[in-house]
Structure 1
Amino acid sequence: MASRTQSNNKAQSNKTASKTEEYDVVILGSGFAGLCMAIKLKEAGITSFIILEKANEVGGTWRENTYPGCACDVQSHLYSYSFEGNPDWSKSYAGWQEIQDYILHCTDKYKLRSSIRFNSEINEASFDEASAQWNIHTKNGAHYKAKSFVMGSGPLHVPAIPKIKGLDSFKGKVFHSAQWDHSFDLKDKNVVSIGTGGSAIQYVPEIAPKVKQLYVFQRTPAWVLPRNERNYSSLEKQLFRRIPLLRKLHRGRLYLTNEMRVLPIYRPALAKSLSKFAKWHIKSSLNDASLVEKMTPDYTIGCKRVLISNKYYPAFNRDNVELVTDAVVEVKENSIVTQDGKERAIDAIILGTGFVTDPRNYMQDFTITGLNGRTLMKQWEKGAESYLGINVTGFPNFFQLVGPNTALGHNSVIFMIECQVHYIIESLKLLKKKNARYMNLHQDALESFNQEITEGLKDTVWSSGCNSWYQQDDGKNFTIWPGTTIKYRARTRRVIAEHYHWEGADKQSDMPCADAAPQTQ
């Protein structure tokens, strides 16, 4: 079924537009964010939209990441849309296939497939002030016009490939965890895994029993907490299905429990107490005292992404798994050389090296041009910034989902996406109510919000001195929302009209109204 769908998607995308297609809204990406945007547009009665997807199927990161053991580190009943509950999750933390099946279900249930153009990667988008429209071009030569442009691509979709001397000359197999080659048989192979992040801690325990020898290269150890994982019984699933309130209460409990995790983030002193429990987890899981020392981080827990696994540490108790902490100097045709001079014969290299997360890097080949010829990359020259992670000054009717400083370290990003989608829908309604040609964020609103972000990050674990993918090279944290999701929801319930210029708005509609009422800060 999947292959036939992908074939139909490919055929559909090959029908390159011979003329410009016009819509009220163009959405980039068909992962959780883009699909949520489309569903809520339809719900609001806005049916003139199209989703442009670079691949040949929906799913985003859950389409791309299929490595052994791939699963979400947020509970299944919480890592799903609030309006589309699933009583049939098989376990507390679903694997990639189950999540992808859920995404496919949502796509079909809400009849979105006909509104998606697959194999349509956007490479240019520019705002034309005269027509108050976005001109959007794809690599396959198609051209679209839209009153509003929503970017829902997310930050975790471009694999980070390390620069290692000789990697290109290696005669064995090399692949990134997000591009897993399932046709390559790891059985009885000498395998190197580079990286010990969120992906590696999941696939390392899965491949360890299959390979002849596994060398896990660690640059910096991660804090890994135990995973409260269990299967849902048939009775539980039946009750969730027959009594939706029980499922909603279960989801609510998970949400509140996760929300409490923000406390150690605000108070590094509490984080120290949590680190004691994490250290106990390390010591109780490993048989070798030297490994305990090497795998115990020296930074405050939470400064980097906290990982969860019951299987990762025990994998290193196996005789065929070796932790390597010496840096890689060179890869030769059939071996890898470390800084201590040791050379290890290997058959394959798996790059568990994460993703390019700074939009200034992964969006280099994608030009977004706003008013007066300004480009988003120029605007973000010193770092990515936006208002509520949604709007950027000088880019009218341009909205982001999971934009700068809206990722989380303690709860479900799906909650944040739904908040952002609600805000965008409210913006579109206000545009129509005011009969405005476009809305453009005031610079002082952007600056004030980002000053608030800077202040919010002070004295948190994220500012305790470590380097992480949350930060750009100069240390600026462009990723994390420094607060509760409850606060973010409050900030995104209503649009503060005074924070925007409403070009061409009716004067009467520009008078103060309920939509412009101040929000709880």
Structure 2
Amino acid sequence: MFPTTPHRYTPEEVEWLRSRYRQERDRRIRPEGNAQYQRASGEIVTDPYTERAERAPVHDRVEALVIGGGFGGLLAGARLRQAGVGDIRMVDEGGDFGGTWYWNRYPGVQCDVEATVYMPLLEEVGYVPKWRYAPGEEIRAHAVAIAKQFDLYADALFHTRVTELRWDDETAEWTATTDRGDEFRTRYVVISSGTLAQPKLPAVPGIDDFAGHTFHTSRWDAGYELAGKRVAVVGTGASGIQVIPHVAEQAQHLYVFQRTPSSVDVRDNRPIDPAWAATLKPGWQRERMENFLTLVTGGHVPEDLIDDGWTATANLQRQILTGTVDPTISAEEREYLDERADFRKMDEIRARVAAVVEDPATAEKLKPWYRYMCKRPTFSDDYLPTFNRPDVTLVDTADTGGITAMTSSSVVVGDQHYEVDCVIFATGFETGISGVVSGTLPVHGRGGLPLLGHWRNGPRTLHGFASHGFPNLFHLGSLQNAASVNFTHVLQEQATHIAELVAEAARRGAHRIEPTAEAEEAWVATIRETAPDNYNFQAECTPGYYNGEGRPRPVNNSFGPGPVVFHELLRTWRANGGMDDVMRTA
């Protein structure tokens, strides 16, 4: 039985789809959850793009330290510079600015959010993207342009990891130490080390025994010749979707190892019209960013300025990235309507697979059977046609719990050995695990209090940025605030907020910016009261990084009303005396 009505679903069809989704989920769930992956280490994570330069340890003082050179760190540095901060030290483990876009240089890499809203500070830098969905190299070049525009190279330390932050009550400053022997003082610290920086690998028995060539998509080996080689690509998430068509064009034979198929929608990328760009007026990027953010979080605007796959599926995104809901209908009716809209969209995506992929058996393996936001949606016009090539083989690993083993010359799935010369891991990054959360960056606040000790019963912040007992320390990211599919917009608002606090502290002569214990507790309560309850939705999902590989967290730490409301809350807080409560002159 398969649902046949395109727009309406009978109770029998609904139950059939729910049952199929559960069956497909159960085929893929592994009892070890995230432990099925291991942190990549050694040669496979060595920077292949920039040679590490030896240098003497740094022992000095700066006004502000920004940890992380991706867009979050760049935005923090830019906004702090605009706020009048002179000495800013940027520290990153990579060899240059760019963050994820420094590391991801595989063929075909591009952003899936429109460039005019994703690439931040376009007007400040004086740049209009060349493509609607910018390739990685254009994005990386823009990151470098931001750093140059705001003079962030001056005190930057690359190929450097901060290993400890410790507050000194007497001097009202932080001491930072690094893995390069640096030890310096700073008044302010902004942590934007990101959650898409540490590559992960499948914990496959025998992975270290493979004698052929291996590399991760985030450490692309451009010097390795794929022509004439039997190549395996492991992973069919966002990176795999983009790189697989390019590898197929070069390799003698490509084996694609898939655990769960991605939902692959139309990309329709195209150059941005220079004539249109010439008509843009000051404020154009903010207008487009706000328009996009409002739409994808469930709000309403007179005109959809972006009009793409994200804005067309805004209601479906609410299950993970919450936003405005219609208060005139009940939660039950909303779920009823959302589920059927979800069925329609996923039926459309599965129908596209059947229409494009010529071999019926391969097409069936490529069809995604889960709710739309169970995995991050992908967009490509090249991925599905790749499986029509005679030199490409799809290996579905759902029934074996993934790849079974690796030998010196093969990838093993069940009893089948696939002899290959090279294995490319498109297995992504550790997500939601920053150095602070993992403990690899210990932070000690007033009186030596460890931050993770303060957070032993869960994160405790004001607005997600700062914690009581940890003055002048700010976090960028999704913790206890609101997220969006366009995360750079969220980071820009966060960086602006931090810079406003620092500028106000300078005006008042305040030595410390620190929330009270009461303000912190009130915000924790706000998160607890407003956080969306999407546990049941995620528990029904196919395993992936959104739901902890089938083990969703029972506690959600995001601001339920969404980023549009959150950003307005911050602006109102700043304008109505909120900063009075965090400024400390003694």
TM-score of the aligned structures, taking structure 2 as reference length? 0.76
Distance in 1 between residues matched to 2:459 and 2:358, nearest whole Å: 44
Distance in 2 between residues matched to 1:14 and 1:221, nearest whole Å: 46
Gaps of 5+ in 2: 1-48, 298-310, 319-334
**Could you tell me which residue of structure 2 aligns to residue 216 of structure 1?**
256
**Could you tell me which residue of structure 1 aligns to residue 358 of structure 2?**
287
Amino acid at match of 2:114: Q
Amino acid at match of 1:14: R
Confirm or deny: 8 A CA contact 1:286 1:317 kept in the other structure: yes
- Provide the secondary structure at the position in 2 that maps to 1:117: coil
1:136 to 170, 176, 180: 176
1:14 to 29, 33, 55: 55
Going from structure 1 to structure 2, the CA distance change for 1:379 and 1:212 (only over 3 Å counts) comes to: farther
The answer to whether residue 497 in structure 2 is matched with residue 426 in structure 1 is no
Distance in 2 between residues matched to 1:453 and 1:386, nearest whole Å: 15
Amino acid at match of 1:492: L
**Could you tell me which residue of structure 1 aligns to residue 5 of structure 2?**
none
Confirm or deny: 8 A CA contact 2:95 2:159 kept in the other structure: yes
Deviations along 1:383-408, one digit per CA (max 9) or x if unpaired, are 66654332234432211112426574
Distance in 2 between residues matched to 1:124 and 1:76, nearest whole Å: 36
The structural deviation recorded for 1:142 is 1.2
The structural deviation recorded for 1:145 is 1.5
Amino acid at match of 1:428: V
Distance in 1 between residues matched to 2:295 and 2:86, nearest whole Å: 37
Going from structure 1 to structure 2, the CA distance change for 1:262 and 1:389 (only over 3 Å counts) comes to: farther
- Provide the secondary structure at the position in 1 that maps to 2:256: strand
1:469 to 531, 545, 549: 545
**Could you tell me which residue of structure 2 aligns to residue 444 of structure 1?**
521
1:269-418 to structure 2, matched below 5 A, reads 269=339, 270-326=341-397, 327-339=402-414, 341-359=415-433, 363-380=438-455, 386-404=461-479, 408=483, 410=485, 412-418=486-492
Going from structure 1 to structure 2, the CA distance change for 1:499 and 1:236 (only over 3 Å counts) comes to: closer
Question: Which deviates the most, 125-134 or 460-469?
Answer: 460-469
Deviations along 1:39-62, one digit per CA (max 9) or x if unpaired, are 111211122322122222111111
Going from structure 1 to structure 2, the CA distance change for 1:335 and 1:467 (only over 3 Å counts) comes to: closer
The structural deviation recorded for 1:183 is 0.7
Distance in 2 between residues matched to 1:271 and 1:146, nearest whole Å: 50
The structural deviation recorded for 1:68 is 0.7
Deviations along 1:283-321, one digit per CA (max 9) or x if unpaired, are 222222323332222321112211111111111121111
**Could you tell me which residue of structure 2 aligns to residue 43 of structure 1?**
82
- Provide the secondary structure at the position in 2 that maps to 1:276: helix
The answer to whether residue 78 in structure 2 is matched with residue 78 in structure 1 is no
Confirm or deny: 8 A CA contact 1:53 1:121 kept in the other structure: yes
Going from structure 1 to structure 2, the CA distance change for 1:330 and 1:103 (only over 3 Å counts) comes to: same
Distance in 1 between residues matched to 2:584 and 2:481, nearest whole Å: 31
Amino acid at match of 1:470: Y
Distance in 1 between residues matched to 2:378 and 2:455, nearest whole Å: 30
Going from structure 1 to structure 2, the CA distance change for 1:321 and 1:377 (only over 3 Å counts) comes to: farther
The structural deviation recorded for 1:77 is 0.8
- Provide the secondary structure at the position in 1 that maps to 2:374: coil
**Could you tell me which residue of structure 1 aligns to residue 189 of structure 2?**
149
The structural deviation recorded for 1:419 is 0.9
2:153 to 110, 113, 118: 113
Going from structure 1 to structure 2, the CA distance change for 1:372 and 1:503 (only over 3 Å counts) comes to: farther
- Provide the secondary structure at the position in 2 that maps to 1:27: strand
Confirm or deny: 8 A CA contact 1:87 1:238 kept in the other structure: no
**Could you tell me which residue of structure 2 aligns to residue 511 of structure 1?**
none
TM-score of the aligned structures, taking structure 1 as reference length? 0.85
Q: Compute the RMSD of aligned alpha carbons.
A: 3.1
**Could you tell me which residue of structure 1 aligns to residue 72 of structure 2?**
33
Distance in 2 between residues matched to 1:309 and 1:479, nearest whole Å: 32
Deviations along 1:244-277, one digit per CA (max 9) or x if unpaired, are 5667766665555545443223353233332233
The structural deviation recorded for 1:69 is 0.3
Deviations along 1:122-167, one digit per CA (max 9) or x if unpaired, are 1111222333221111111111212221001111000012211111
